[in-house]
Amino acid sequence: MADLLSGGAQVQGEAAHDAAIAGYPVQIGGRANANEPTVVADADATHAWFDLFGRLVVILGHPTPEAPDVSNLTASGDGTLIAAPGASVSLYIVRGSVHNAGSAVVEVSLKDGTAGTIRWAANLAADGGGSLFDFGSRGWKLTANTLLAGNLSATGNVDFNITSYYIAA
């Protein structure tokens, strides 16, 4: 009854879960569209998106990631791969690759800030050794307003290609 007192309405269908349906049950709704819906303004109400077969469309991860960031580190120790995004914003690292163009084996790592925790590491063979990383569709969330650091165990020549996105913390 609390919902009714606060101005809300209570709706109940005629059939319980896994029961045969008779009549016209209450359904969730949305709009069927073969293309992405038109953008609405922040805080606007919006319809759920269904394909033309009635299947709910869900986009995993962020629908508009940043363009891939391409960086190169040559000095041993920490270096900035992606700058801190600003106050109250978090950087999410989704996936990427590292490639060693140097003539020596080097261990590389990704860190949550230059003094942060190592979240991924790999040993790269000399002259073309590489590795891929993937933190899933949601990605690895760095601490708010923190840069992504790369670390080389020794002087080298390592290329980083990283896909990321930003969200308010």
pLDDT in tens, 112-165: 999 899 999 999 999 999 999 999 988 999 999 999 999 999 999 999 999 999
**Is there a single domain that holds both residue 110 and residue 160?**
yes
Of the three residues 39, 58, 77, the one that is the final residue of a domain is 58
**Is there a single domain that holds both residue 50 and residue 73?**
no
**Is there a single domain that holds both residue 51 and residue 82?**
no
Report how many domains make up the chain: 2
pLDDT at 39: 80
Give the three-state DSSP class for 137.
Answer: coil
Q: Which of 128, 103, 118, 105 is nearest to 151 (CA)?
A: 118
Confidence of residue 67 (pLDDT cuts 50, 70, 90): confident
Q: Kindly report which listed range (37-41, 59-63, 77-81, 129-133) carries the lowest average pLDDT score.
A: 59-63
Q: Looking at the domain assignment, is residue 64 inside a domain?
A: no
Q: Looking at the domain assignment, is residue 84 inside a domain?
A: yes
pLDDT at 98: 98
**Is there a single domain that holds both residue 42 and residue 77?**
no
Q: Are 132 and 110 in contact (CB under 8 A)?
A: no
Q: Looking at the domain assignment, is residue 41 inside a domain?
A: yes
**Is there a single domain that holds both residue 100 and residue 134?**
yes
Higher pLDDT, 32 or 28: 32
Q: Which of 72, 63, 71 is nearest to 92 (CA)?
A: 63
Q: Which residues constitute the domain of residue 8?
A: 1-58
| CA 69 remoteness from chain centre | 15
pTM of the model: 0.70
Q: Looking at the domain assignment, is residue 63 inside a domain?
A: no
User: What CATH number is associated with residue 138?
Assistant: 2.60.120
Segment 12-39 mean pLDDT: 76
Task: Give the pLDDT confidence of 76-91 residue by residue, as tens digits.
Answer: 999 999 999 999 999 9
Segment 63-67 mean pLDDT: 78
**Is there a single domain that holds both residue 39 and residue 87?**
no
Burial letters 42-72, b for 16+ CB under 10 A, else e: eeeeeeebbeeeeeeeeeebbeeebeebebe
